Amino acid sequence: MSQLKLSQINIYPIKSCGGISLTSSLVEQKGLEFDRRFVLTHENGKFITARTDSKLCIIQIQVNDNGLCLNAPDMPELIIRYQDFAANYQNVQVWNDTIDAQYCNAEYDQWFSRYIGKPCKLMYFGERSERQVKNSQSQVSFADSYPFLLISNPSLNELNSRLASHASMAQFRPNLVVDNCEAFAEDNWKRIRIGEVEFEAMKLCSRCIFTTIDPATGKRNADREPLNTLKSYRRNSKGEVLFGQNLIALNSGRISLNDQVVVIE
Across 186-213, average pLDDT: 97
Rounded Cα distance between 97 and 219, Å, is 29
The residue among 115, 31, 32, 122 whose CA lies nearest residue 81 is 122
Q: Residue 2: what pLDDT?
A: 79
Is residue 144 over pLDDT 80? yes
Across 69-94, average pLDDT: 98
Average pLDDT, the chain: 97
Is residue 22 over pLDDT 90? yes
Is residue 34 over pLDDT 70? yes
Rounded Cα distance between 69 and 191, Å, is 36
The residue among 94, 173, 171 whose CA lies nearest residue 134 is 94
Q: Residue 14: what pLDDT?
A: 98
Q: What are the pLDDT digits (tens) for 119-136?
A: 999 999 999 999 999 989
Q: Residue 1: what pLDDT?
A: 58
Rounded Cα distance between 37 and 126, Å, is 8
User: In the chain, pLDDT over 70 holds for what percent of residues?
Assistant: 100
Rounded Cα distance between 72 and 39, Å, is 17
- Calculate the alpha carbon distances from 145 to 27, 150, 156, 187 in Å: 17, 14, 22, 17
Q: What are the pLDDT digits (tens) for 153-189?
A: 999 999 999 999 999 999 999 999 999 999 999 999 9
Residues 6 or more apart in contact with residue 96 via CB below 8 angstroms: none
Q: So where are the chain's domains? A: 5-10+143-263, 32-124
Residue 94, exposed/middle/buried by CB under 10 A (0-12, 13-18, 19+)? buried
3-state secondary structure of 4: coil
3-state secondary structure of 211: helix
CATH code of the domain occupying 5-10+143-263: 2.40.33.20
- pLDDT band of 207, cuts 50, 70, 90: very high
Across 245-252, average pLDDT: 98
- What pTM value is reported for the model? 0.96
